[in-house]
Structure 1
Amino acid sequence: MSEPKRTVSAEAMQEEWLEVQAAQADPAMFEPLYERYYEAIFLYVFRRTTDQALSADLCSQVFLKALQQLPRYQFRGVPFSAWLYRIAANEIAQHFRRNRRRQIVTLEEEASAHLADELGGLPAPDLMPALVAALDTLKPDDLHLIELRFFEGLPFREIAAILDITENNAKVKAFRILNRLKKKIAAS
């Protein structure tokens, strides 16, 4: 599988961990973390809700919970954002459960092209209807993994932290999900 859009150096994660520790000691020090990740978390939520006001509300909940739970946060060798994505995923899932609505997935051209490459290099316009239909058949957990990998561009290490599984398990699951998607697209 190809590499994600972004990676974070060990040095940057160590610097970030110092920022987290400062925020754990003094909540006023949380602002740089909030400023750094608000837009990414907002977009993550927005891609699943397509409602700007709802996304803003859910994003506020994510950062409120992060601030409230910050004293219990422990560095695990992945960026702080992995923890925020996990909180956001839980908030989104809780929202859709409460409202008994199906979750939305927004396919952007770049993400669908990246996913198309992984699915055998079919041109994205030819693949799009079959891809949408195939994604619609995935279980929520499988869809979430595909979203994190291809739509958010996260590396497997962060995906593993978000989903609370091993990095190897995340890779194996992604490989199996992609194989199922290939079969469904080929059959369509």
Structure 2
Amino acid sequence: MNAIENESRLVIEACKGSVEAFESLVISYEPRIRRMLYGLTQDVQLTQDLCQETFLAAYRALPRMDGEALHFAPWLYRIALNLLRSEWRRRKHVAVVSLTALPREDDECGEAGEDYLGAEGPFEEQVVELDLVRQVLAQLPPASAECLLLDAEGFTYAEIAEILQDSLSAVRSRLSRSRQAFRRIYAGLNRGGVG
């Protein structure tokens, strides 16, 4: 059975109340949801809280869902982003930073650090690159940063539209403008012009 069929089976079983199926989905999606949330908040505790709330909300909602029609990944990411937006409204400010931000040693937010240790190029250059990306994303509107981060996670335009509850044309347009703005700001920062 391939991964897509296995996930579809797990979603159907989870909607029917299987705790084991839901736990398997959590194991599969928790690192990705955590990485996205951490990329948007740069706050370990907030990330852990929102991640837990995301899966709790999903678990509570699954019995009301049609497992055969549910697009699980976009639905789950939408829950996480809606919880984050509620937190932003409550707190009035959460810094937006890069999905690929290098976690500190004491952060328990993913394996990104391990990926960078094995990446090519001098470590110092990678750290500078990550810092530039973080600075650029912080200067973009939150909706643009969200779009870029979901794109970086590998979601299609249609999936991003579903997650953000927006039209496909709006997502295409936002991604195009966001990429242009990202390149413009990045070029300025890379030359040391903006900061």
Which moved further from structure 2: 24-33 or 81-90?
Answer: 24-33
Please, which moves more after superposition, 165-174 or 52-61? 165-174
Unaligned runs of 5+ in 2: 103-124
* Distance change in 2, residues 1:75/1:40 (3 Å): same
Distance in 2, Cα, partners of 1:183 & 1:58: 32
Aligned to 1:6: none
Alignment equivalent of 1:16, drawn from 7, 29, 52: 7
Identify if the C-alpha distance between structure 1 residues 35 and 182 changes in structure 2 by more than 3 Å, giving closer, same or farther: closer
Q: Tell me the residue number matched to 2:76.
A: 84
What residue is the counterpart of 1:104 in the other structure? 96
Displaced runs of 4+ in structure 1, greater than 6 A? 75-78, 123-130
How many residues align structurally?
166
Q: Which has the higher contact order (CA 8 A, sep 6+)?
A: 1
Residue in 2 that maps onto 1:157: 158
Q: CA deviation at 1:35?
A: 1.4
The one-letter code matched in structure 2 to 1:20 is V
Report the identity percentage: 28
2:169 paired with 1:178: no
Q: Give the structure 1 partner of residue 147 of structure 2.
A: 145
Give distance in 2, aligned partners of 1:91 and 1:145: 16
Q: Is the 8 A contact 1:135 1:181 kept in 2?
A: yes
Gaps of 5+ in 1: 1-10, 111-122
1:71 and 2:63 correspond: yes
Q: 1:69 to 1:125 in 2, by over 3 A?
A: closer
- How far apart, in 2, do the equivalents of 1:47 and 1:135 lie? 10
TM-score by length of 2: 0.67
Deviation at 1:181, TM superposition (A): 3.6
TM-score normalised by the chain length of structure 1? 0.69
**Letter of the structure 1 residue corresponding to residue 142 of structure 2:** P
